[in-house]
Structure formats: structure tokens, C-alpha cells
A and B are shown apart, each in its own frame.
Chain A
Amino acid sequence: MKVKDNLILREIAGSWIIVPVAEMVVEFNGLMNLNESGAFLWKKLSEGAEMDELLSGLLSEYDVDEETAKADIQEFVAQLREKGLLQ
């Protein structure tokens, strides 16, 4: 799985923000605010990570149990898919 090109993750004034560039400016139309773990997953997804990599990454990076991590990842990926942000 990979997020679409031309969506740049930036840390701005202490917040994680997705900024669209080029043709994504019109399609995306705005900015998106991610929390810390969302930004972590986004970075992984911009490298084309699969579900198992997302899960292992989240478990090693955060103090969270596997069931909760899985549910969070599924929700995050579903939101990205719904917004059409995955390739």
C-alpha cells in the first residue's frame, strides 16, 4: 500500500500536516492534520508498507497492545481509502 504522490507530510508549529502539491492541490483541496501515530503510519505508507509492516512498526514504536494497534491501523487505512489518498 502506498499513499498518492504529491502529498507531503510536514511538521509545522508542532503539528503534523499533509500539504498537497502540484495536481493534488485541487483534488485534495485543503490541508489534513494527523496525530503522532497517524504521521508515523503515513511515513511508512509513503514507502509502500503493507499491513504487517505497519503493525510491527506501530508495536515497536508505541506502547500499545496488538489488538488496539490493528484496529487503529485498519481505521486509519480505511479513512485514507475513503478519501482516495491511496494509490
Chain B
Amino acid sequence: METAYELLIEKLSRQASIKKIPLNGAFELTARCNFDCKMCYIHKKNDCAKVDELTTDQWIRLASEARDAGMLSLIMTGGEIFLRKDFREIYESIAKMGFNITLYSNASLIDSKTAKWLGRIPPTTLEITLYGASAETYEKVSGNAEAYEKVVNAIDMLLAEGINIELKTTVISENMDDYDAMAEFSYKRGLRFGLVDYLYPARSASHAVNVCRLTPEKLVEFRKKMVETNKRLTGIYLDGKQLPGPSDRMDKLAQELNSIKPDRERIKSAFGCNAGSSDFWVTWDGRMVPCGAMEEPVLHPLETGFVNAWSELTKGCSRIPICKECRKCDLIDYCMVCPAKLKSETGRYNKPGKYLCELARLSRENFSEVDRKNIDKDIG
């Protein structure tokens, strides 16, 4: 069940999407990472990446301009954000500006001092990706076996500081058998456990994705198992209740949502999400794109100013062609299709991707509507 908090966010998102307000943004603070995950698109090791990163002041200035343009929710991601020596400076400055801040991290660099510091100035949410349930799996996925214990310790230290944590995993062949143990680790601590199970084959660094991502058949089998595991764990640890969401203060909003008129332009848009209508992404080297999985349209907010870049982004996104074949396909309700995925799978926005088609066909065959809703809730 949705919380009132989520309804408020949804209401704001709909209004922002209609008015083309940049409500939700992600700042990719660095391309560097201390992990070397084979499926990841952004885990550079060399100093060139550091040289081309935006500076402390540039990130703070961008945040300030984005706030003035209407941004509410800000994700800070990487690479690994805690690798930046100036992360505290960036975060402390931006945290005062009045955002809903979510941090993405692998948590392996969070020690007790960092946890205490974050406890004093906490983000709205800290989302931590788990890569396995043992040092052995961490080694296989990220090449960093010793990180496993550090991550477990970090999570417990952060919880002790009262920080709102969500855990998730990216499932590939090497860690799919650890799902139950990772989910149980999460449920035991009363934490939400999310999942990324679709991997984009394109964006530069991820050449190995086609090798390590699950085939549509394996993915559907995995999702079946996941549904059963989550049901079992909900029974054991939550007495059948859902995990708590954020505060429950705004009951009237559900009615208000229905009064917001649908965005007519949205129907003509290739996007099913809010990318380019209220959402944007700024890469580590300062390019503004619709989302982390897309490389175009690309704008340069540091050169043109945030507002101009955002305005051009919305126009560029409205020109992305719809895949007509997908729109009229009878599998559309079961399909994860979006412009980013099509471009990544096929090199074109208007050509169906075989992987997605097969996954949609198998989803229709294997899952009830209730199962699909539960899966959609867990998949990030």
C-alpha cells in the first residue's frame, strides 16, 4: 500500500511533469569506484576520470541553480561517492538547501566516523547495493572480497545512527544464488530490499553485460523464486505486514491525485517515465542527460546555465521517436520497454529489442497480475 508520503511525491511528480519542472535529479559525483563490477557502466580506476570530474564548487552551484528551478529530490551517485575526498564538503553544502536527498553507495568506505557524521546530517535515504551474501560472492562480482564484512559492519553502524537505509542488489549470474540470503539480511533488519535485474548492454564500460546478465528464461525463473522468497520472509519477519514507508501525514492527497489532469503531451511522448519531463541526470563530467542509461540528448548546464540546459533537454526528449511497433504490441503491458532500453538493445529508439520481447512474453505466461505488481514494486 502506498504511504501518504509517496502520494505527495507522486502528486508533485505529475504536476512537475505537466509544467516541465525539473523536480527530480541525479548528480553522478564521480566515475571512480573501488569496486570493479563486470556489469557496471561506471567504475573507472584512472586519474583521468578524476581530472574530468566537476569540482566541489561546480556541484554546489549546479545544486543551487537546480533548487531555484524547482528541484526537490536529489540523488547523489557514482561510481562510489565516498571516494571523493570533498564529498563531505559537497554534501554538507547541498544538504542545507532543502532537498530530499538520496545517496547511492556500496557502503564499503563507510567507517564509524563517517556513520556518525552522516547521523548528524542524515540524508532522506541511503540506498546501499549489496553484491552478494559472502566474501566469496563479493570477490566474484566486484573483485573486492574484503568489502563484504566492511559493508555488513557499515550497515549496522548506520542503523545505530538512525539513518534511513534501503538495501538493494543487482542480480547477475554470479550472485543470483545469494538472493535469499541477501533478502533475509535485509528483512531481519526491517529494511526494504530492492532489485535491479535488467542490465543495459550499452553505456560504454559494460561490455561484459551480455555475458553476465540473466537470459530472459533465467530472469523469469529468478523472479518466480524471488516472489516466493519475499512472501516467506514477510511472513517470518514482518508477521505478514508490509515494511513501513515514510511518514503518513497527508491522507487527502489520494483524492487530489485524481483531480490532476493527465498530460496530453505525455501521451505523444516516447517515455513512459518522467525522464526529460521532470527528471534529469548530470554525469560526473557535467553533461545533462534524461537518465543514467541515456547519452542523448546531451546538454551542458555549466556552460549554458541549468535552466537553459533543462529547457533544451525537455525539447530534445520530445523529439525522440516512439516505437510504433511496441505501442501496438499485445505484450506492451508486460514489457519493460523504454527509449533508453531500446536504444541500448538495438541502437535505435523505434526498433523492438529481442531480449525485452522475450522477457515480456515469458512474464505474461508465468506471472499473475498480483505477482507482476509485487515484482514491479521490488524492481528499481
Contact = CB atoms under 8 A, between A and B. Distances in A.
B334 interface: no
Given A26-B164, A31-B8, A21 B95 contact: yes
Interface string B155-172: 000000011100000000
Contact of B247 (A10, A14, A23, A30): A30
Contact of A33 (B100, B162, B246, B253): B253
B16 interface: yes
Interface in B17-41: 19, 21, 23
Given A13-B16, A31-B8, A33-B8, A23 B121 contact: yes
A26 B162 contact: yes
B159 to A, nearest CB: 12
Interface in A45-77: none
B268 interface: no
Interface string A4-25: 0000101011110101011101
| Majority secondary structure, B binding face | loop
B323 to A, nearest CB: 29
Contacts of A28: 247
Contact of B12 (A17, A21, A29): A17
Q: Kindly name the residue among B11, B12, B96 whose own CB sees the greatest number of chain A CB atoms within 10 A.
A: B12
Interface residues of A, number: 19
Contact of B122 (A8, A23, A30): A23
B181 interface: no
Nearest to B21: A13
B274 to A, nearest CB: 12
Contacts of A78: none
A76 to B, nearest CB: 14
A12 B163 CA distance: 25
A21 B120 CA distance: 11
Nearest to B164: A26
Chain B's interface size range is 20 to 34
B185 interface: no
B328 interface: no
B221 to A, nearest CB: 38
A19 B67 CA distance: 12
Given A13-B12, A13-B15, A26-B164, A19 B70 contact: no
B12 A26 contact: no
B12 A32 contact: no
A36 to B, nearest CB: 14
Interface string B221-253: 000000000000000000000000011011001
Interface string B138-159: 0000000000000000000000
B11 to A, nearest CB: 7
B123 A8 contact: no
B12 A12 contact: yes
Contacts of A22: 95-96, 120-121
B70 A32 contact: no
Given A13-B19, A23-B122, A30 B12 contact: no
B99 interface: yes
B177 to A, nearest CB: 36
Contact of B5 (A8, A15, A31): A31
B171 to A, nearest CB: 30
Contacts of B288: none
B20 to A, nearest CB: 10
Contacts of A33: 8, 250, 253
Nearest to B3: A30
B250 A32 contact: yes
A12 B70 contact: yes
Contacts of A10: 72, 98
B251 to A, nearest CB: 11
Given A10-B98, A32-B249, 4 more contacts: A13-B23, A17-B12, A19-B100, A22-B121
6 contacts: A10-B72, A19-B100, A21-B99, A25-B124, A32-B250, A33-B8
Which 5 A-B residue pairs are closest in the complex by CB-CB distance? A30-B247, A8-B98, A13-B15, A13-B16, A30-B246
